[in-house]
Each structure stands twice: as C-alpha cells, then as structure tokens.
Amino acid sequence: MATGFGAAANWSDTELINAARAGSADAFDRLVEAHYRGVYNTAYRMLSTPSAASDATQSVFLRVYEALSSFRGDASFSTWLYRITMNVCLDELRKRKNEPLSLTEEDDDGEVLGERDLPDLSDEPALTAEQRELQRLVHEAIGRLSEDFRTVIVLYDIRGLSYQEISGVLEIPLGTVKSRLNRARLALRDEIAPHAELFGG
C-alpha cells in the first residue's frame, strides 16, 4: 500500500513542477515517470479494468499538463494529482452511466486474459488461490459501489491516504470523510455478503 503516488528519485516534486511550469519538458517527463504508477493503480481500483485505467492515466497527465500553470502550491502536488485523478475517474463513471456498461459487460468483449490483467505479485508472499479470489471479489465489488463510496474506499483503504489528505483531495470536511468511509465499508461488506464464508476462513 502506498501513501503517496511515489516520489521522483532525482528531484523533489516542487523542483520538477517549477521547472515544468517554466517550460521544461524533461521535468514534466520526470513527473510523469514518478507518478504514473500511482495514478494508474488508483484509476484501476476506481474503474475496475486495466484498459479504462490506462486511458484515465493518460487523461490525467494531459490535464496535469494543461493545468500546471494553475497549480498554486497551496496543496501538495500529491493531493492535487489525486484530485485530478479522481475527477477523471468520476467523469468516466458518469459517462458509463449514460451508456450502460457494467464490468461484466465490458468483459464480454472477450478481452484477453493476459498478465496485464493481473496484479504483479512477484514481491508478494505466496497467496493461496482463495486469497486471490477474495481480492478479485473485493475488486469487483468495489466496482459496484456508488461513486462516493468507491472513492473513499480506494483512497483510504487501498491507497492509504489519511482522512486529512482525503478531505483535501475531495474538498469535503474531515468528518464527512470519516462517516462516508464507515458507510462505504458497510456497503462493501453487503456487496460481498454472498461470499461471507470466504472471510470466515
């Protein structure tokens, strides 16, 4: 689990942003390099499929690029990037509402099940098939939650942001973050209820 999007090994985000705003493409490149994995992972949990996550990641960095000049530095770059990521994801979810497209229907394209669809677990201790199935169930269940619930679960429980950070990203009061998280977890539990026996074990 990661708290931030990740840090550039070479330069601080602030240095890179200043340079990127001054027109340095190289600095922008480094920003992308440092953060795209985090953006992709966040989008993947929000949008459920790798292809949607890839598209969203691309949109995010386009928006970042266009909005660099408006980045004030009063929020941390990470917060700002999460906000853009969430906005892109929520836009996509709203779009989906109009053209009814569920996760399972998307699978109906006969998408290739390849390595890219599956988490890279090379560093994970061996997980049992059940644990993986559980993760898959939870991943899919997140995709059935409402936008608000999905957002807090992804940010708090998966990305590991603090209440404070989430409050900054979503621009909602801290108390709202807390209560929404509790309701989101309960809703997710209900989604998974049919498979509750997996949790018992």
Partner 1 sequence: MSCEQCLDRLTELLEGELPPETEREVRAHLDECAQCAEALAELGALVKVLRGMPEVEPPAELRERLHAQSPAEATASVTFWRRSRSVVAAVAAAAAAMLMIWTGVTYLRPETGGAVMESSPRMVERYAQPEATVAEEAPDVTEALEADDAPAEAVTPESGETAASVEAIEPTRSSPRSSSPPRNARSGRGSVAPAPPAPAPVETPAPAPAVAELDDAAVGDEGATSDVEDTVRGAARGGPAGPAGSPEARATGMTAEATRGTGGAPSRTLTLPPPVYLDAGAGTAMKMGEGTPFTVAVTPPHEPVTGRVVPATIRIETEADVARARVTVAGSDDLELIGLGADGVVFEGPLEAGQETVLSVRMMARSAGVQSLTMRVRSTDPVVDTQLDVGMGDFAEPVPAAECPVTFNFVGTPIRVAVGEIVRQSGMNVIVDPGCGNVTVTLRTDDPLPAAAALRLVVEAAGCTVTEHDGRAVVEALNGER
Q: Shortest gap between Cβ of 164 and partner 1 (angstroms)? A: 13
Q: Shortest gap between Cβ of 155 and partner 1 (angstroms)? A: 11
Question: Site residues for partner 1, window 44-63 (CB under 8 A)?
Answer: 44-45, 50, 53-54, 57-58, 61-62
Does position 15 interact with partner 1 (CB under 8 A)? The reply is yes
Of these, 81, 93, 153, 155, which contacts partner 1 (CB under 8 A)?
153
The b/e string for 142-164 (b: 16+ C-beta within 10 A; e otherwise) is: bbebeebbbbbbbbbbbbebebe
Sign for the CA dihedral angle at 59, 60, 65, 66 comes to positive
* C-alpha count within 13 angstroms, C-beta hemisphere, residue 58: 5
Choose between 42 and 79: whose C-beta lies nearer to partner 1.
Answer: 42
Nearest of 85, 82, 57 to residue 161 by alpha carbon: 82
Crossing angle of helices 50-67 and 25-47, rounded to 10°: 140
Distance from first CA to last CA of the chain, Å, rounded?
Answer: 23
Does position 181 interact with partner 1 (CB under 8 A)? The reply is yes
Of these, 49, 87, 157, 172, which contacts partner 1 (CB under 8 A)?
157
Instruction: Give the phi and the psi of residue 61 in degrees, each rounded to 5.
Output: -75, -25
Question: Site residues for partner 1, window 82-141 (CB under 8 A)?
Answer: 107-124, 128-136, 138-139
Q: Shortest gap between Cβ of 49 and partner 1 (angstroms)? A: 11
Does position 185 interact with partner 1 (CB under 8 A)? The reply is yes
Instruction: Give the phi and the psi of residue 112 in degrees, each rounded to 5.
Output: -70, 130
Of these, 32, 34, 81, 93, which contacts partner 1 (CB under 8 A)?
32
Choose between 169 and 181: whose C-beta lies nearer to partner 1.
Answer: 181
Task: With CB under 8 A as the rule, give the number of residues binding partner 1.
Answer: 77
